[in-house]
Structure formats: C-alpha cells, structure tokens
Chain A
Amino acid sequence: MSDILRLDHVSYAYPGGRPVLRDVSLAVTAGRSIGLVGQSGSGKSTILKLLLGLMRPQTGDVLFDGARLDLSDRQMMRTYRKSVQAVFQDPYASLDPRQKVQAIVSEPLRALGIGGDRRAMVVAALRSVGLDGDILDRYPAAFSGGQRQRIAIARAIVAGPRVVLADEAVSALDLTTKVRVVDLFRDLARKTTLLFVSHDLGVVASLCDEIVILEGGRIVETGPTRAVLAAPAHAYTQQLLASVPRLPDFLAGASSP
C-alpha cells in the first residue's frame, strides 16, 4: 500500500479570515477510492485546492509519493500534473465555450507535451466515457450537462493519471443523468484512484471505499464507508446521516423490475 497523496497536519486560513482547515491529515492510497464529505464551510474545497496544487498550506505539507510537493519545482509539478487530474462541479463552466471538443480533451496532452497520435488518444478517452469519436469538431454548447461532464472526465483521464480528484462532479446533474455519471466514476475508480469531494452522502456511499467526514475545517470521522455509515461514531456524522431525506418505506423493492 502506497500513499500517492498525503496531507500531513495541514492548516490553512485565508488572509484576515478565520481558519478553514485545522490540522488535517489524510492519505489517498492507490486503488482505494475516497469520499470527502462536508457541508458548506467544512473546508472540503480548500483541501481540494491544496491537493490540486493551486495553493500552499500555511502549516503542514502536501506530500506526493512521499516527497513534499513544491509548486515552484517545474520538473516535479510536471510529473504531478500528469499524475493528478480533476473533474469540476459545473460542466457549463469547466469547458471553454470557445474551444472544440478536440482541443478541450487534448489540453493535458498539449500542456504536458505528451506526443504520439493525440487525436487517437482523445477519441479513445471519449469512447471510454461513452461518447462518440465524431464529436471532435463541436463546441460545448451543443451538449447537455451530462454529456459535458463526460467530456470533462475524458479530459481528466486522457493523459492516464494515477489519481482523479472530483469536486462535486455530479452535484449539478439531474438524477437520471447522475446515476449514469456515477457509474462512469465507478468504472474509473477501478482503473485509477478516485478522490470524490461531495456534500451528497448517498453518492459517496455508492461510490467510495473510504469516507472522510469534515466539519468546520476538521476531520471528525474517517473509515471504510460501509462501517462508518452503519455505525457512525461521531455526533456530527450521526446528525448528517439523520438529515439526509430518505425514500419512504413503502417503496422498498417496488420499483425493481
């Protein structure tokens, strides 16, 4: 078992603001998909920004394959970018409206100078997310939210990353679309390691091996998803679980074909 990414006693506060992360430690282990659950203000997006190398922690370290991540080390960052890719929440905002699908999906290949038949790599990435290879010359406006999110996932996997970080990546999708995209992430989690940030316990429960519960910038509970949900130890986890609206009992099994 090796930790690809680690947060080691990380704290963070925005200038002049109260701390958003307090002594957070967590590990992303190869092959174990991990769900980061918290409500607004829990610090989950800050953790993500740190893991994406978009900012530095004020105290503590972000470790990549055991080495301290240095944002100014070009060689290291290149390896890091190749290894760690991301999918964002809003598929309408995360695709450049003025780029064609080909340019969008091939961006990591261009940026990282990955050679070879880029077009074939883009088509392969699109196919693996259930999209046809003949959409290369179209703009994002031609696609629905679910299709856009598939394009965004294709971009994240085209360079063959070891970890995919997903930021509320299904929250903006309709329920029926959400199910399909969650299935896609589940397939993805078999090939790479997935860190899935979400406020939606149901989605994380159906997708992640491990769960991390955040509250007010602290990790309050962590463990295997099933175990934590079956017997939440922390009062906050219990409250969170009890707040999730549930389907009525009379439904049970009724809709199964």
Chain B
Amino acid sequence: MSLLKVRDLSVAARGRNLVDSVSFTLDAGERLGIIGESGSGKSLTATAIIGLLPPGLSATGSVLLDGHEVIGAREGELTALRGAVAATVFQDPLTALDPLMRVGRQIGEVWERTERRAGRPHGKGDTRAAVFSLMDEVSLPEPERIAGAFPHEISGGQRQRVAIAMALACRPKLLIADEPTTALDVTTQKETLALLARLVADHGMTLLFISHDLPVVAGIVDRVVVMRTGVVVEEGPVRQVFATPTHAYTRELLVAAERFDRALGAA
C-alpha cells in the first residue's frame, strides 16, 4: 500500500494556483525526489502534504498520508499525523530550532512527546539516554557539550544534525527533507547527505526529498518528479528521467547542470 497518495493537489492564493493538480504516490520504503526551481511549487507541495500551509493559502484535492486524508482535516488530527507519520527537516536549521532552548532539551521534548503518545511511561533518565542515543545516531560529536549548547553556539552542519535527530525522535514512517543541505557548505553537505541516506536505510523510512540541485537529488532518491510553475512536467525513475528526459524543461535543467558538472572534469 502506498504511504503517501497525492491526487490533484492544488494550492491557491488569491484565486491563483501556485500548485496545480499535482499527483504522485510514494510507496512505503521508497525514496522520491521533487526537483524544481523557485516558483515551481515544490516546497508548497511538501507543506500541503503535512497540512502546514501558511494562512491565505488553501489546498484542494486529496493527500492521503498513511490512509488519512490531510486536506480539510482538523488541526488535532494533523498534529497526530505530523510526527507519528511524517517528520520534516527544513532548509534552515537556525529558524527550525528554538533559539532560547538548549538543543538537548529540544530533542528530548520531541522524544518525550512521542513516548507519551505511544502510551509508554518514561522517566528523566530515559529521556537523557534517548537524547544521547539519538545524537549518536546522527553522529553529533561531544554529546555532553552539544546537548547543553544553544542553537547559535554550534555550527550549521551540527544544527542540521540536531534537526534530523528531532525528526528521528518521532520515529516517522515518512521523512520529508525540504532542501536540507542548501544552506550548508559543500563538505558539510556531503556528510549530511550520507547521514540522511544511512538513516533512511537503517530505519526503513520513506523519503520525500525536495531540492533544486540535480546532482544532490540523483544521489539520494530512486524516483523523481520534476515541477515547474506549480505543474508536474515529468516523473519517473532517476535513471530514466536523467538519461532520457522527455520534457523540454527537464532537458534544459540537465543541460545546465551538465555544464557545471563537466567543467569540473572527470569525477
């Protein structure tokens, strides 16, 4: 059964469709990429999937997340779905984290909430152990120091690892990563992508990876959806879409990406 089924999803603002009749499905354990430039609607699609559209935007169509309809659902149902079913890692970890709370505490709160919802009793010591184990899973060094630090006291790459640990603490079936490495330096990006790939594999998570960066997407997903101005222009396995693109826009993207790739010489 598919974990995520998007049918004719449209997102409108003031009568204009920013996302227009987008449909795709994501089977459990699959890794799907959404490729698009600014204004393509890729991030709006992701926000609509978890029912987090900003005010003024309205979604129509259907989003079935683990069998639950997201469009039109009450906030209470959505809160239960977010976390338990889908967790998100955003582009900018600095805005995704609470600047005034130590990062260990932030990871701990998510873990405690997950345990409470699952009805499992836990004590203070359990949280502490769980936080350190999550930090270990995302390869954060010096867990004692970093757990006690505020977000601005650690590096960008470390912040993104904290955000990933928080997503992981939910034990989600679906991990949505929205440009998770765009704000990072290239060496940090490489490590973070490797980490994401390992975690997705280890936990059997389903991955929805949103990015404008073709080489990055190609390296982490099996299947891609190419979006432009709110519309899906092409969809298929990475190999097929990248090797034999059918849409002119996909070709244009690939030609552009190849230009810079070739300039670097043989890999």
CA distance A214 to B245 in the complex (A): 38
Q: From A178, which residue of chain B is reached at the shortest CB distance?
A: B256
A243 near B187 with CB under 8 A, answer: yes
CA distance A230 to B266 in the complex (A): 8
B186 near A179 with CB under 8 A, answer: no
Tell me the A199-257 residues at the B interface (CB within 8 Å). 199-203, 205-206, 226, 229-230, 239-251, 254-257
Query: At the interface, yes or no: B213 with Cβ under 8 Å from chain A?
Result: yes
Interface string of A5-31 (1 = CB under 8 A from B): 000000000000000000000000000
Q: What B residues does A177 contact at CB under 8 A?
A: 37
A175 near B243 with CB under 8 A, answer: no
Q: From A37, which residue of chain B is reached at the shortest CB distance?
A: B186
Q: A175-B257, A202-B263, A205-B260 are in contact. Are A246 and B37 (CB under 8 A)?
A: no
With beta carbons under 8 angstroms apart, the residue of B238, B258, B265 that contacts A255 is: B258
A247 near B243 with CB under 8 A, answer: no
A201 near B243 with CB under 8 A, answer: no
Interface string of B237-263 (1 = CB under 8 A from A): 011001111000001111111111111
Query: At the interface, yes or no: B173 with Cβ under 8 Å from chain A?
Result: no
CB < 8 Å A-B pair total: 106
B188 to chain A, nearest CB (A): 8
Q: A145-B38, A251-B242 are in contact. Are A179 and B256 (CB under 8 A)?
A: yes
B190 near A243 with CB under 8 A, answer: yes
With beta carbons under 8 angstroms apart, the residue of A175, A244, A248, A249 that contacts B256 is: A175
Q: A243-B189, A248-B238 are in contact. Are A229 and B265 (CB under 8 A)?
A: yes
A247 near B186 with CB under 8 A, answer: no
Majority secondary structure of chain B interface residues (helix, strand, loop or mixed): helix
B135 to chain A, nearest CB (A): 23
B242 near A247 with CB under 8 A, answer: yes
Q: A245-B215, A247-B257 are in contact. Are A199 and B243 (CB under 8 A)?
A: no
With beta carbons under 8 angstroms apart, the residue of B185, B190, B243, B251 that contacts A245 is: B190
Query: At the interface, yes or no: A73 with Cβ under 8 Å from chain B?
Result: no
**B contact residues vs A (CB 8 Å cutoff):** 37-38, 156, 185-187, 189-190, 193, 212-216, 218-219, 238-239, 242-245, 251-265, 267
Question: What are 22 A-to-B residue pairs whose CB atoms are below 8 Å?
Answer: A40-B156, A145-B38, A175-B37, A176-B252, A178-B256, A206-B260, A229-B264, A243-B189, A245-B189, A245-B215, A245-B219, A246-B267, A247-B214, A247-B218, A248-B239, A248-B242, A249-B267, A254-B243, A254-B254, A255-B242, A255-B251, A255-B254
